[in-house]
Amino acid sequence: MKNITVRFCGDSGDGMQLTGNMFAQLAAEMGNEISTLPDFPAEIRAPQGTLGGVSAFQVELGQEVYTSGDKADVVVAMNAAALKVCTLGSHFNHPQAHFDEEFSLFHRHAILIVDTDSLTDKDLEKAQYHTPNPFEELGIPESVQIVPVALTTLTKEALKDSGMDNKSVLKCRNMFALGLIYWLFDEPMEKAIHLLEEKFKKKPALVAPNTKVMVDGYNYGQNLALNVQQVHLDQVPSDQVLSDQVTKCTYTSIAGNKATAWGLIAAAEKAGKRLFLGSYPITPATDILHELAARKDMNVMAIQAEDEIAGVCTAIGAAFAGDLACTSTSGPGLSLKSEAIGLAVMAELPLVVIDVQRGGPSTGLPTKTEQTDLLQALYGRNGECPAVVIAASSSANCFDYAYEACKIALENMTPVILLTDTYLANGTALWRIPKLAELPEIHPQTVPEELKGHYNPALRDARGVRYWAFPGMEGYEHRNIGLERDAEKGTISTNPENHEQMVLARKHKIEQIANSIPNLQIIHTASADRSRLCRDKKSSNPQIPMSDTLLVGWGSTEGHLHAAANELNCALAHFNYICPLPKNTHEILSQYKRIVVCELNTGQFAAYLRAQFPDLHIEQYNEIQGQPFAVERIVNFVKNN
């Protein structure tokens, strides 16, 4: 088996995120690629045992892992509500809904481990079952291998001599499930125990009972010889790894938000600047604030401001004073920051704005993923207000694009909006740990010495980028403004020709950044197999070969689109640089007869591309359900349309 998807689901209080993370981390340490999807409700603690309180963690592991998996191969369901939600998927609220492979969160041939102690009449009532037999009621097909385990009883048994109270004992149930899954995957227990000790480092009293329960879970699988086959993933021979990458590399698993924070830290050190973050708590971006507030050892100044506007404004103040300044938020916060971002555009100050997108509009779906802030990032400001927009496309490369956002901002005196989303932010992936020395140089646009005494804030270099002078520098005193400035003197100007000149200067400044970003690459190339065809309704040619079809995406959907392109055997172009676009964008796109832009919105990037390249015919495929793409649905769309 090449790769496999595991889903842990239970009540919000059952510790599913911790369990899932521990499993994913061990899998990664054992040489698997991983991609994870935490899927939890917005309520911190919904009523126990209810459908609304189900929290889940999904991970795909193996080789060539592009996504966190469409559907699970192995499921752990800790209670009746979780069983219902994972069986029915988005239809869990429909009365009389039955297992339907289209909506279910697991496959027809999945292994389903269920805590039978949590299926009492009371549990079933809370989860809105109508009959005493949940499996029958849900219509789970016989092909699904149900593994009933008395998790609660077995956990109590394991800890009967521990002297712990009942409530504390029950909190260890998740470790029994984890031990069982470790057995299923034949993971080495000594590493698992070491990892558990790491996770509970700050609560040493919990190490022994949790270890006991986890080991008992493992032994339960082994000794009682559960009627389940252990799963063995294909191991990549070590020489094959080495042939790809000549030197051995060091890896860890990292969540997108943490990777983003660390990208900023690395960029600040490389640029010789202090990192300043002005932020306000907002789901799902808050972990960036958490991480940077904890990184005082790295000399980071992270301010929790009084509101979103103050978050960006304190950052603008720090940028004015010469720091590498950032603000982190999600869609609603980006709306609030719009005017201030416009100020940074006008004042031509370096500023990094991180938007961890979530379901919108308004409060929307705070814990779910979406790509719906693209047009806001591109255009959501008053006046002609161009800013750089880039997007990360994996949890791990949040690091690279956060770094790149800082580099572009400092070298081009402009706000840069970095788009990530819930999927990347909370998901974890394998990250090759870089050394600072191997990261690209960053050269802030600090004013050269020869301008001392005759500096003004409108002076530009040959690229059209103005110079940065900040308080404390003697001989460069000046007044910066949000008003229009004179193109020569830098003072307030209302002159009509000057305004047009300045609008174009700011536009040009953003456009010239295309000279220093990488060209668009075709990530997945179709083989010349012309037997695979797809229909094209619009074209006079009734059938376009897959080799002439190009999937296009941007941001967090890269993994799903890569998997879809693999399956379709068509080409994929994926964008990380959105404004400006890579210089060869038209050249690449125009080589394909069929272009399908796939996004988690109603077609924002497709609309943007059509506006840039009106000569291209661009199709679109969209999902807006607050969930990542399902590869299967993309494939079906491209095949059948």
Which residues of this chain interact with other proteins, rule CB under 8 A? 25, 28-29, 31, 195, 198, 241, 248-252, 262, 265-266, 269, 274, 276, 278, 295-301, 303, 305-307, 309-310, 313-323, 325, 339-340, 342-343, 347, 433-436, 470-483, 491-492
What lies within 8 Å, CB to CB, of 225 at 6+ separation is none
Query: Which amino acid does the sequence have at 412?
Result: N
Q: How far is the CB of 175 from other proteins (least distance, A)?
A: 19
- Choice between 476 and 621, CB closer to other proteins: 476
Output the smallest distance, CB 325 to other proteins, in A.
Answer: 7
- By beta-carbon proximity to other proteins, the closer residue of 271 and 565 is 271
Work out how close the CB of 581 gets to other proteins at its nearest, in angstroms, rounded to a whole number: 30
Cα angle 246, 250, 254; round to 5: 130
Task: State how far the Cα of 31 lies from the Cα of 237, in Å rounded to an integer.
Answer: 11
For other proteins, the closer CB: 132 or 475: 475
- Cα–Cα distance between 526 and 523 in angstroms, integer? 10
Query: Over 103-172, what HEC string results?
Result: CCCEEEEEEEEEEHHHCCHHHHHHCCCCCCCHHHHHCCCCCCEEEEECHHHHHHHHCCCCCCCHHHHHCC
Pick 490 or 628: Cβ nearer other proteins: 490
**Among residues 56 and 387, whose Cβ is nearest to other proteins?**
387
Question: Given the complex with other proteins, which of 476 and 577 has the nearer CB atom?
Answer: 476
- How many angstroms separate the Cα of 310 from the Cα of each of 121, 307, 363, 488, 594? 52, 5, 20, 31, 46
Q: CA geometry: angle at 288 spanning 399 and 256, to 5°?
A: 40
CB nearer to other proteins: give 154 or 303.
303
Is the CB of 159 or the CB of 318 nearer to other proteins? 318
The minimum distance between CB 267 and other proteins, in angstroms, equals 9
**Shortest CB 443 distance to other proteins, Å:** 18
Q: Which is it for the CA torsion 31, 32, 33, 36, positive or negative? A: negative
Integer CA distances (angstroms), 217 to 74, 151, 178, 439, 594, in order: 16, 9, 7, 44, 52
- Cα 316 to Cα 260, 312, 347, 513, 605: the distances in Å are 20, 6, 10, 21, 29
Shortest separation between residue 23's beta carbon and other proteins, angstroms: 15
Whole-angstrom Cα distance, residue 406 to residue 412?
A: 10
For residue 265, the minimal CB distance to other proteins (Å) is 6
Tell me whether residue 147 or residue 264 sits nearer to other proteins (CB atom): 264
* The two three-digit tokens of residue 38, written as one number: 């935490």
Min dist CB 45 to other proteins, Å, is: 29
Centroid of chain to Cα 575:
15
- Least separation in angstroms between residue 353's CB and other proteins is 14
293 close to 257: Cβ distance less than 8 angstroms: no
Backbone φ, ψ for residue 362 (5° rounding): 50, -140
